[in-house]
Amino acid sequence: MLYEINEKIIRLEREGREIIKFNLGDPDQQTPVEIIEAAFEAMKKGKTKYASAAGEARLREALAEIHGVNADNIVITPGSKWAVFAAMYLLLNKGDNVVIPSPHWTAYDLVAKSLGVNVKLIKTRFESNWEVDVEDLKGLINGRTRLIILNNPNNPTSKVMNEKVVEKIVNVANERGIKVLSDEVYADISFVKTKSLIEYEGEHIVVRSFSKTFAMTGWRIGYAITDKALADKIIKLNQITFTNVPVFIQEAALKALELRHQIVKAMRECYQKRADLANKILSDTKLKFTKPEAPFYVFPKSNGLNSEMFALRLLDKGVAVVPGTSFGDYIEHFRISLTAPDNEIELGLKVIAEAFK
């Protein structure tokens, strides 16, 4: 379906139509110039060689200090996506099970399938505030369950998980010797406090990223935080695959950390404003949705909607969204990504609102 939508966007744009792209999880902002300059300076200083597969010591130490762990627990990866892949590749064998609350980012599913791993989805619902039912989770666990994947805050609902629910999930995992992977790529810029999995009991995996926080999606830099044994295995996998994230990109990431308070504040304010606008415009319609607690998504529902047909029809009106079926069994939902330039956001939201008056 996403393929069909992308093809249609390309065709319409070729015909000269302008499309407001609410379909991408890629910030419209430019990477802050200080970060770009730090990369350039590092390149000029010759930081263009092979380097450590674990990541630069200074960057690992800076991240360790932020997260209250040791540098040994941090591995720098080309985006958090690689960290997710590496953890799944190293922890799962063919025929194992992984449990994932849905709606969910499709990469988890696709990686699991590529490894011959069975995916058990826990359906969460708008009507229950997207909360994970821990009894449902227990019912899906069996002797082959090796991993539970949480995405906190969630893409596409922008919900931050209830801390008590996370605690219960972690307890179940600890009792049964199952690892939990918490994908927290939206946590740094969430609007409400997001308690990291690092703060719970047990040896688990957290993946984080510079992509969304610092508008650095194309730079490809993220990291895993985990126990030393798994960290060492990820480092070995890095070594035999991509070798290392370029050092000049790691230098840029260090600059991002140095400026993080001011950058995060500005990013959060920008996305909060957009989320407030979406709330205001969409509240005046028949759509049902939970208020975003993090950037960038809204995941509205309309009873009886076929969001695949709707997404194609909406494109004719110049707005691209993603049907809910791209995130699991959610045909009545669609995802709006508030990552278009500010001047397009109100316009695009009004076109959507018009369809649900």
Binding site for ligand PLP (CB under 6 A): 25, 79-81, 105, 151, 155, 183, 185, 209, 211, 217, 222
Contacting residues for 87 by C-beta, under 8 A, at least 6 apart: 147, 181, 205, 207, 224, 226, 230, 234
User: Which residue type occupies 290?
Assistant: T
Closest CB to ligand PLP among residues 52, 182 = 182
The rounded distance, in Å, linking the Cα atoms of 176 and 194 is 25
Closest CB to ligand PLP among residues 155, 302 = 155
Closest CB to ligand PLP among residues 299, 302 = 299
* Residue of minimal Cβ distance to ligand PLP: 79
How many C-beta neighbours within 10 Å does residue 322 have?
A: 25
The rounded distance, in Å, linking the Cα atoms of 356 and 319 is 14
Closest CB to ligand PLP among residues 105, 310 = 105
User: Which residue type occupies 286?
Assistant: K
Closest CB to ligand PLP among residues 62, 187 = 187
The rounded distance, in Å, linking the Cα atoms of 216 and 32 is 9
Shortest Å distance, C-beta 322 to ligand PLP = 11
Contacting residues for 4 by C-beta, under 8 A, at least 6 apart: 312
Shortest Å distance, C-beta 158 to ligand PLP = 11
Contacting residues for 223 by C-beta, under 8 A, at least 6 apart: 55, 63, 74, 75, 76, 77, 80, 83, 207, 208, 209
Closest CB to ligand PLP among residues 36, 281 = 36
SS3 helix, strand, coil % of the chain, rounded to 5? 50, 15, 35
Shortest Å distance, C-beta 274 to ligand PLP = 17
Shortest Å distance, C-beta 76 to ligand PLP = 12
Shortest Å distance, C-beta 259 to ligand PLP = 19
Shortest Å distance, C-beta 239 to ligand PLP = 20
